[in-house]
A = this chain, B = another copy of it.
Amino acid sequence: MKKDNHTKYAILGLLTTDCHSGYGIKQMIDQSLNHFWKISYGQIYPMLKQLVTDELATVRTTTQDGKPDKKEYVITAKGEAALQEWLQTPIDAIPVERNAVLLKLFFSRHQYADTTIRQLEDYQQKLEERYSTYKAIEAMIASLMHNKQDSPYWLFTLDYGKRLTKAAIDWCSDTIDQINNGRASDG
């Protein structure tokens, strides 16, 4: 039994939205799925070719006004069936997410408390920027697509991103405090 290739279904799924070209898929993922997915052209174009080979999609070249030609990919009935089958399959296990900040923290007894705190503050700031981005995307989806069938699901994924980012930000604050208290009692 071959392992799931989630990226294949990410692309297949996006063909069911308003994205029908490699360039459009890339943009969509970077803009609206970037809190839980990313992709490079090096994956997209060969995979689109593969989808056509597997008869999960069809292509045709379309001309546009004021823009270069593009290839329009349309999902087939077979493609929709494959997508639905994948949607129904539960993930087999939650993967381990490597976290370099935690890795550094794990070894931080080799470091001055100041340096460790600086790392955590830097991480916290990056998390806060990320949180702002999520709020902006959320507002955009909520306002521009309140009529679309997809939007409630898209907002659920954003809510996930926001909540976990918030939890991480709070952890940063509390951990910095604890390190400061520990340092005070060591003095």
A residues sitting closer than 8 Å to B (CB atoms) are: 4, 6, 9-10, 13, 16, 33-38, 80, 83-84, 86-88, 90-91, 93-111, 115, 118-119, 122-123, 126-127, 130, 149-150, 152-154, 156-157, 159-160, 163-164, 166-168, 170-171, 174-175, 178, 182
Contact = CB atoms under 8 A, between A and B. Distances in A.
Contacts of A170: 163
A141 to B, nearest CB: 11
Contacts of A84: 110-111
Contact of A104 (B38, B87, B111, B166): B87
What does DSSP make chain A's interface, helix, strand, loop or mixed? helix
Given A16-B107, A105-B157, A37 B171 contact: no
B159 A175 contact: yes
Contacts of A38: 96, 98
A68 B94 CA distance: 35
A90 to B, nearest CB: 4
Given A130-B94, A160-B171, A171-B163, A87 B99 contact: no
A162 to B, nearest CB: 9
A110 B35 CA distance: 21
Contacts of A150: 106, 109
B159 A167 contact: no
B175 A167 contact: no
B101 A91 contact: yes
B182 A102 contact: no
A108 B87 contact: yes
A33 B106 contact: yes
A9 B152 CA distance: 42
Nearest to A6: B100
Contacts of A83: 107, 110
B109 A149 contact: yes
